[in-house]
């Protein structure tokens, strides 16, 4: 299951093609330490990402981030920007980082340092964030006017994209999704996640689908990555069957 459902793990590397120094101000954005310049995916690889719609029930931030990468690889840049922004509203810190770098470099949009600062501030808001150095470097290279404009943008963006709202909403979606799996386990040991089938490999036989517990384990593990560094995340762990009243 992991090689299909979580192929979007390449998504963090999306930022790499966009970290070139801006010609206008010579500011470059550090690449997160977890990335490697030797593993930058091509447009074709991004376009081939298998974004499983069933993941949206559990971790929409990761799902829409995957869609952002896929559509960017397909060179549908307007759609990619929209999907990254949707992912950002579900507390996807990599999506917020990518949006910041895109705004900084003018990647298929006008350059906007204030907007870049705002997105990078949101990406770096968690303790020990991997995106902190990127934000600090851009902040130091910005003028007081640019910083002030970024603060004004942040005041409008935080109610939608900051963890105090977005991560709480994402955690609730994850919790509700895990409750759904727990309820399914009462009547079935298998779960066919929507989007896992393909024309070449259709899931016509439920017995070929993953067990409910396997799906829960993968979702739980991925959730730990999505909510990394956020103190409000609570992992569900092994599913427990709830006795009927």
pLDDT in tens, 196-225: 654 344 455 566 688 888 888 889 989 998
Q: Which domain holds residue 130?
A: 1-245
Total domain count, the chain: 1
Would you report the helix, strand and coil content of the chain in percent, each value rounded to 5? Answer: 60, 0, 40
Across the range 156-174, mean pLDDT stands at 97
User: What number of other Cβ atoms are within 10 A of residue 4's Cβ?
Assistant: 13
Q: 87 or 8: which carries more pLDDT confidence?
A: 87
pLDDT band for 11, please (50, 70, 90 cuts): very low
Is 211 strand, coil or helix?
strand
Is the confidence at residue 241, as pLDDT, over 60? no
* Residue 122 in tokens: 């949101």
User: What number of other Cβ atoms are within 10 A of residue 238's Cβ?
Assistant: 8
Among candidates 7, 25, 112, which has minimal Cα distance to 70? 7
Whether 153 contacts 114, CB under 8 Å: yes
Lowest mean pLDDT among 18-22, 100-104, 113-117: 18-22
pLDDT band for 32, please (50, 70, 90 cuts): low
User: What number of other Cβ atoms are within 10 A of residue 166's Cβ?
Assistant: 24
Across the range 170-195, mean pLDDT stands at 85
Q: Report the distance separating Cα 184 and Cα 55, nearest Å.
A: 16
Across the range 141-164, mean pLDDT stands at 97
pLDDT band for 1, please (50, 70, 90 cuts): very low
Is the confidence at residue 4, as pLDDT, over 50? no
Mean pLDDT, all residues of the chain: 79
Is the confidence at residue 245, as pLDDT, over 90? no
| H-state helical runs in 164-211 | 166-187
Is the confidence at residue 163, as pLDDT, over 50? yes
13, 25, 102, 106, 107 from 20: Cα distances, Å = 14, 12, 10, 11, 11
Q: 141 or 1: which carries more pLDDT confidence?
A: 141
In this prediction, residue 59 carries a pLDDT of 95
- Model's pTM, two decimal places? 0.80
User: What number of other Cβ atoms are within 10 A of residue 66's Cβ?
Assistant: 28
Q: Report the distance separating Cα 143 and Cα 124, nearest Å.
A: 20
């Amino acid at each position: 299951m992991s090689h299909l459902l979580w192929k979007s793990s390449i998504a963090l590397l999306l930022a790499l093609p966009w970290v070139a120094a801006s010609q206008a101000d010579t500011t470059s954005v550090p690449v997160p330490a977890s990335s490697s310049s030797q593993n930058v995916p091509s447009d074709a690889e991004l376009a081939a990402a298998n974004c499983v719609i069933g993941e949206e029930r559990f971790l929409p931030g990761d799902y829409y981030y995957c869609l952002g990468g896929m559509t960017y690889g397909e060179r549908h840049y307007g759609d990619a920007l929209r999907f990254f922004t949707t992912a950002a509203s579900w507390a996807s810190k990599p999506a917020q980082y990518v949006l910041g770098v895109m705004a900084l470099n003018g990647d298929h949009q006008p350059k906007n340092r204030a907007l870049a600062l705002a997105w990078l501030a949101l990406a770096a808001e968690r303790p020990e964030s991997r995106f902190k150095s990127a934000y600090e470097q851009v902040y130091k290279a910005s003028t007081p006017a640019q910083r002030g404009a970024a603060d004004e943008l942040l005041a409008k963006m935080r109610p939608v994209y900051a963890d105090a709202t977005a991560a709480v909403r994402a955690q609730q979606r994850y919790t509700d999704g895990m409750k759904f799996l727990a309820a399914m386990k009462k009547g079935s040991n298998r779960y066919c996640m929507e989007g896992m089938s393909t024309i070449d490999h259709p899931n016509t036989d439920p017995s070929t689908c993953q067990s409910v517990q396997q799906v829960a384990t993968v979702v739980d593990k991925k959730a730990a990555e999505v909510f990394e560094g956020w103190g409000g995340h609570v992992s569900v762990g092994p599913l427990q069957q709830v006795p009927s009243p």
